[in-house]
Amino acid sequence: MGKLSLLVSMLMVSCWAVEIQVEDVDTAWQKYLAEFPIKIQTKSEIWFRKSIFSETHNNIAKHNANKDATFEMGHNQFSVMTEDEKQQFFGALLPATPVNISLDVSSRQVATSVDFRTSACMSPVRNQGGCGSCWAFSATAVVEFQKCRKSGFVRVDLSEQQLVDCSRANGCSGGWEHEAWQYLASNGGQDLESRYPYTARAATCTFQNANSPGAQISSTTPVQWIPSGDTNAMMSVLTGGRILSIYMQLPNSFMNYRSGVFNDGACVANNAHAMNIVGYGTLNGIPYWVVRNSWGSSWGASGYILVQRGVDLCMIERYSRTTNVL
């Protein structure tokens, strides 16, 4: 074969490969729009969102092609968002290291595994929307779960909006779970969602102390910090029937998690997020935490993610804490 013929053949193969790649992205884009409809006003907006999607699609394909990967990625609501838009879905503030550790669980025998995802007291996964209120959802989940277990396994739906509006200024710009519990302990407790519904925006506090609260917090020990990095103590709390609030600095790949044990250590300080640990176990020899998120049930594995346990991945084991419900 002459040099010219070889060059033509190579160009044809190259063009064919590019065409196939474009077709793959186009097909994936149409499937994405069918599953995650987005309101697009102009052609320029369509191309802008599709360009973000294309980059996300290529990153997902590259990751999933890695045979050594311990988790799988997939498309979701974040596949077409800019980095600035994604920032609205975080909201955790870096906690200060606690002075006093009041939790003593050293004598408790921990279970081999715990998983409260299917517990009668585990409320459906919430969606914080474009408000940096992850801290309020994490704090509320702990209170709801504990209140349910102390009330004969009767589930209760409490108001995250009360924490957003009342426990600090502009609760959509971030906060701390322990501060939320301290507020509840000093201000009569947490209202019901039915009386104080979530709006995904900060507003004026309308909580009425005269109402019978949905749950009350101990005023003497509203916050119990787990010793930093003490995974055995964390497992002990879960074995004892409580869940934990945690802080993470999320890697970019976290946004498109789908399944498996997440182990990406490329932490991003700006992606600070509060969630809950609701269990632990081992998958394919890798120990993990069961983590509950607040991005809705269409994200991740029905709203949950398995995060590698025992390596303090992106600070997940550094600032864990829980509360005491009366």
Who wins on pLDDT, 262 or 7?
262
Instruction: Provide DSSP, 70-139.
Output: SEEE---GGGG--HHHHHTT--B-PPPPPS------TTPPPPS-EE-TT-TT-PPPPB--SSB-HHHHHH
Predicted confidence (pLDDT) at residue 3 exceeds the cutoff of 60: no
Predicted confidence (pLDDT) at residue 103 exceeds the cutoff of 90: no
211: confidence class by pLDDT, cuts 50, 70, 90: confident
The DSSP bridge partners found for residue 306 are 261, 290
Q: Which residue has the tokens 């069918």?
A: 34
- Tell which residue, 321, 291, 294, 275, has the closest CA to residue 114: 291
Q: Which of 57, 148, 273, 324 is catalytic?
A: 273
**Domain layout of the chain by residue ranges:** 3-69, 84-157+217-322
How far apart (Å, rounded) are the C-alpha atoms in residues 224 and 284?
Answer: 33
Question: Which residue type is seen at 259?
Answer: S
Rounded to the nearest 10 degrees, what angle do helices 3-35 and 43-64 cross at? 110
Q: Is 134 a catalytic residue?
A: yes
How far apart (Å, rounded) are the C-alpha atoms in residues 28 and 48?
Answer: 16
Q: Is 271 a catalytic residue?
A: no
Total number of residues shown for the chain: 326
Q: Which of 75, 293, 314, 324 is catalytic?
A: 293
Q: Is 293 a catalytic residue?
A: yes
Q: pLDDT over 70 for what percent of the chain?
A: 90
Q: Phi and psi dihedrals of 239, rounded to 5?
A: -60, -35
Please give the structure tokens belonging to residue 104.
Answer: 């003593």
Q: Which of 134, 148, 166, 172 is catalytic?
A: 134
281-306 pLDDT, tens digit per residue, is: 999 999 999 999 999 999 999 999 99
How far apart (Å, rounded) are the C-alpha atoms in residues 92 and 133?
Answer: 8
Lowest-pLDDT range of 43-47, 116-120, 143-147, 181-185? 43-47
Q: What is the pLDDT, as a whole number, of residue 101?
A: 67
Question: Do 215 and 143 touch, CB atoms closer than 8 A?
Answer: yes
CATH class of the domain whose range is 84-157+217-322: alpha beta
11: confidence class by pLDDT, cuts 50, 70, 90: very low
Q: Which residue has the tokens 């160009």?
A: 11
- Cβ neighbours around 106 below 10 Å, total: 10
Classified as helix, coil or strand, 174 is coil
For the chain, percent helix, then strand, then coil, each to nearest 5? 35, 20, 45
50: confidence class by pLDDT, cuts 50, 70, 90: very high
Angle at Cα 275 formed by Cα 147 and Cα 82, nearest 5°? 140
Strands 272-283 and 114-115: antiparallel
164-204 pLDDT, tens digit per residue, is: 999 999 999 999 999 999 999 999 999 999 999 999 999 99
20: confidence class by pLDDT, cuts 50, 70, 90: very low
pTM (two decimals): 0.91
- Tell which residue, 64, 124, 156, has the closest CA to residue 278: 124
Lowest-pLDDT range of 68-72, 95-99, 228-232? 95-99
- Tell which residue, 125, 133, 294, 124, has the closest CA to residue 203: 133
Strands 321-322 and 224-225: antiparallel
Please give the structure tokens belonging to residue 270.
Answer: 């700006």
Strand ranges for 152-263 from DSSP E = 224-225, 244-249, 257-262
Predicted confidence (pLDDT) at residue 256 exceeds the cutoff of 90: yes
Q: Residue 7: enclosing H or E segment and its boundaries?
A: helix 3-35
Who wins on pLDDT, 141 or 20?
141
How large is the average pLDDT for residues 149-163?
97
